[in-house]
Amino acid sequence: MAGRKISWTKAAVSACVLFQILNALSILLLLMAAFRVLIDPASINASSGEPVSVCFFGANFSLNGMSLYSTDGAATVPGVIIYMLIGCALSAMRFLAFGNIRRVIDFSGSPFCRESVEKLRSAGELFLGTVALQVAYCLITMFFAFGSLSLNVNLKFDDIVIGVILLCTSEIFQRGAQMQEEQDGLV
């Protein structure tokens, strides 16, 4: 039975590391795409009413869940750069959240401690922060339209659900930490 627990722990840690690697790659690709747009503005693929993407190394690159649309077949370089940087920020937030989750899972001591509570709470807030960042970016683009671009944000409930579950789990761990402290005080 103990061997099975250890393998599930290793699998969960491995999954967190995999998600961190994928988010790090996403940051790298988005930064490369933003740099490509700075060097060659013609790499922006913009057709009226179609999602805007950046073409480099023979592939079109755009964000998942957020689409930039051209209203007149042209796209502004600052608008696309800011769009890519927002994507970097979203990936960085997810990278940090999965790092916190990994540290809680891989912790060798009692999981019911203040440190685990803070890491889980931070991870939940980071996931909810990705949604808030997408909404804020959408509102900013509505007020300060970047030339001929409009934004479509498809808010997915996965980040919201994961964030809420992590916040609820942190409350459970907080109660467990309180019980652990009470039990340690009795001994």
Task: Give the pLDDT band of residue 65 (cuts 50, 70, 90).
Answer: low
Q: Is residue 1 over pLDDT 50?
A: no
pLDDT digits (tens, 9 = 90+) for 123-170: 999 999 998 988 888 777 766 655 555 556 666 788 899 999 999 999
Task: Give the pLDDT band of residue 175 (cuts 50, 70, 90).
Answer: very high
Range of the domain at 106: 2-186
- What is the count of structural domains for the chain? 1
Task: Give the pLDDT band of residue 95 (cuts 50, 70, 90).
Answer: very high
Q: Is residue 5 over pLDDT 60?
A: no
- Please provide the DSSP assignment of the chain as one string: -HHHHHHHHHHHHHHHHHHHHHHHHHHHHHHHHHHHHHH-GGGEE--BTSBPEEEETTEEE--SSEEEEESSS---HHHHHHHHHHHHHHHHHHHHHHHHHHHHHT--S-S-SHHHHHHHHHHHHHHHHHHHHHHHHHHHHHHS--TTEEEEE---HHHHHHHHHHHHHHHHHHHHHHHHHHHHHH-
pLDDT digits (tens, 9 = 90+) for 36-62: 888 887 777 766 656 666 666 556 655
Task: Give the pLDDT band of residue 119 (cuts 50, 70, 90).
Answer: very high
Task: Give the pLDDT band of residue 92 (cuts 50, 70, 90).
Answer: very high
Average pLDDT over residues 6-20: 88
